[in-house]
Structure formats: C-alpha cells, structure tokens
Amino acid sequence: SAVAYGLDAPFEIEYHDAVPSTNARARELADEGASDVVVLADEQTGGRGRLDRTWHSPSGGIWLSVLFRPDVPMAATPVFTLAAAVAVARAAREAGVEAVIKWPNDVLVEVDGEERKLVGILTEMEGEADRVSWVVVGIGINANVDPAALPSDAGATSLSAVKGAPVDRRRFTQRVLETFDTVGADPEAVLDEWREYASTLGRRVRIDTPGGDITGEAVDIEYPGSLVVDTGEERVTVAAGDCDHLR
Ligand code: BTX
C-alpha cells in the first residue's frame, strides 16, 4: 500500500521488489476492475517498450504504472502521456537535472552535447472510441542506475549519473505522482508546461509517419498532443510518428 512504501500519494500503491512488468500487472488489475492504483517496482524482469521492444529495468530505477479510468474518449489519451513526461521533467528539474522533452514524450538530458534518454513512457488503454474503460500509463525512470547496465546503443543515462549522486526515489516518485494527478486533469496546463520544457519547438525536425516523412520547423503542440510543423509550404498537424531533431 501507499503507507507501506511511505508515500502519501493520490493513488493506492502496490509495491514489488521485482515483477515482470508493472504495465502487465496494472492491466491484470484493470481486468479485475481496479482503478486509481499505481504498481511500483524496484526491478522489472520483463519490462516492455513500444512495439514489443525490451525496456531494461535493473534494480535502482523507478518502474511504475498508473491505472485509472478517466471519463474521456480514446482520442484524448495522448495528453496523459504528455502529462507523464511533464511530471517527470518537473521532478528532475526539482532534483537539479535539467531535463527536456522531445516530442512526443521522450524525457532527455544533454550530456556532452548529446541528448540522452532518462525516461520511457508506454501508455496502454482499452474501451470504446467515445469512452475509454481504463488507461495504464507506464513510466520507466532511470533513477539510481549505472548507465553501463543499460543498452549501449540506446543513448541512455540516469539521474544518478547526471547528478553524480543517488536521488531520493521515494520523494521523486511522490513528486511525479502528485504532478501527474494534478496537471493531468487539466489538458491546457499539460500543454503549457510541455511547451516550457520542450526541446523540439523551434527546431527543424523530420518525422517518420505512417503516411511518409514530414520535414520542417516544429512550431507548436496542439491538443491532444499533435505537433504543428511548418514545412515551408504549409502547416501540418502530426498526430504520431518518430521524430528526429535535425539541428
Ligand atoms: P521505446 O520503444 O520508445 O524504447 C525502447 C528502446 O529504448 C529499446 O529498444 C532500447 O533501445 C532502449 N532502452 C531500453 N531500456 C532502456 C532504458 N532503461 N533507458 C533508456 N533506453 C532504453 C519506451 O519504449 C517505453 C518504455 C516504458 C517502460 C515502462 S517501465 C514501467 C512500465 N512497465 C513496462 O513494462 N513498461 C513501462
């Protein structure tokens, strides 16, 4: 429970020393009818990224999934993923790590002139187009993790590596959950704070979308999380895709 973990969080906490995947466990709880639960683990033995990729989750990280049942249509859910990125970026900044957000939800920090990944976010949901049944937002934070324990080609780093000292995981987790809970309920506030931390806006980007590549200047983010790109000829609104910063 939240009390057992020493967290005064707006959700009930189910803590595991080790679990295959907090997202998988949260989905199980969703199938049992639960809501407003956070599954939290010190280590994941089968952590997952998008498209069934592996998410390395050694002991010392903050691996968590928030299960909730918002009264929103499917199309509104990207804003929760942005809210998670905002919550972690804010907590990192409070802890002295200048985190930035790359569209849509990569939380990065610059190390030796290169943007390195601190966090991965995986949102899953079920329900009808006009109303979701549940949403699970999985947040993987490389907190007190040796980057050598992470895949070398992933361009990863950790809070402890950037700070040169471990972070207080309990406090960090609490701040992330508080911000997610408060900001996440207000889409305009999410977009405003996202703009404040964004490293993508004002940059030249190339986005690999199902309909082909789009290249141009990223000028804004729009509800529920689309990037507005000025291609020189027109402004296009991109809902999803892999984004590269070109300069
Ligand atoms: P993604 O598909 O964007 O990123 C996955 C890729 O990131 C991998 O292919 C690998 O290259 C790289 N990678 C793997 N582990 C790490 C790491 N620890 N740090 C940085 N880079 C890494 C991003 O997927 C979504 C990840 C969500 C993880 C959370 S943890 C809690 C919850 N439970 C669960 O199983 N997944 C989520």
Asked if residue 152 and residue 91 are part of one domain, the reply reads yes
Q: What is the pLDDT of residue 88?
A: 98
Q: Residue 90: give the domain boundaries.
A: 2-197
What is the chain's Cα-based Rg? 17
- Ligand 1 centroid to residue 121 C-alpha, Å: 7
The DSSP string of the chain is -HHHHT---SSEEEEEEEES-HHHHHHHHHHTT--SEEEEEEEESS-B-GGG-B----TTSEEEEEEE--S--GGGTHHHHHHHHHHHHHHHHHTT---EEETTTEEEEEETTEEEEEEEEEEEEEEETTEEEEEEEEEEE--S--GGGS-GGGTB--HHHHHTS---HHHHHHHHHHHHHHHTT-HHHHHHHHHHHBSSTTSEEEEEETTEEEEEEEEEEETTTEEEEE-SS-EEEE-S-EEEE--
Asked if residue 95 and residue 42 are part of one domain, the reply reads yes
Q: What is the pLDDT of residue 51?
A: 85
Burial letters for 14-23: b for 16+ Cβ neighbours within 10 Å, e otherwise? bbeeebebbb
User: What is the C-alpha to C-alpha distance for residues 105 and 197, in angstroms, rounded to an integer?
Assistant: 11
Asked if residue 192 and residue 70 are part of one domain, the reply reads yes
Asked if residue 228 and residue 211 are part of one domain, the reply reads yes
Asked if residue 223 and residue 165 are part of one domain, the reply reads no
- CATH number, domain of 54, equals 3.30.930.10
Asked if residue 134 and residue 169 are part of one domain, the reply reads yes
Asked if residue 90 and residue 123 are part of one domain, the reply reads yes
Q: For ligand 1, which residues put their CB under 6 angstroms from it?
A: 21-23, 44, 47-51, 53, 55-57, 63-65, 117, 120-122, 138-140, 142, 150-151, 154, 156
Q: What is the pLDDT of residue 130?
A: 96
Nearest C-alpha to atom 19 of ligand 1 is from which residue? 156
Asked if residue 173 and residue 107 are part of one domain, the reply reads yes
Nearest C-alpha to atom 24 of ligand 1 is from which residue? 49
Q: What is the pLDDT of residue 153?
A: 80
For 140-161, what is each residue's pLDDT tens digit? 999 999 999 898 887 899 999 9
- Ligand 1 centroid to residue 237 C-alpha, Å: 26
- CATH number, domain of 223, equals 2.30.30
Asked if residue 164 and residue 47 are part of one domain, the reply reads yes
Asked if residue 240 and residue 149 are part of one domain, the reply reads no
Residue 111 pairs in a beta bridge with 114
User: What is the C-alpha to C-alpha distance for residues 214 and 167, in angstroms, rounded to an integer?
Assistant: 39
This prediction's pTM:
0.95
Nearest C-alpha to atom 30 of ligand 1 is from which residue? 140
Asked if residue 28 and residue 9 are part of one domain, the reply reads yes
Total domain count, the chain? 2
Q: What is the pLDDT of residue 4?
A: 44
At a CB cut-off of 8 Å and minimum separation 6, what does 89 contact? 99, 100, 101, 107, 197
Q: Which parts of the chain register pLDDT below 70?
A: 1-9
Give the number of other Cβ atoms within 10 Å of residue 233's Cβ.
7
* Residue to substitute in 21, 44, 55 for testing ligand 1 pocket (most ligand atoms within 8 angstroms of CB): 55
User: What is the C-alpha to C-alpha distance for residues 137 and 122, in angstroms, rounded to an integer?
Assistant: 6
176: nearest Cα among 58, 245, 118, 90: 90
Which of 158, 180, 197 is at the close of a domain? 197
Asked if residue 155 and residue 65 are part of one domain, the reply reads yes
Q: What is the pLDDT of residue 7?
A: 62
Sign of the CA dihedral with 78 first, then 191, 55, and 5 last: negative
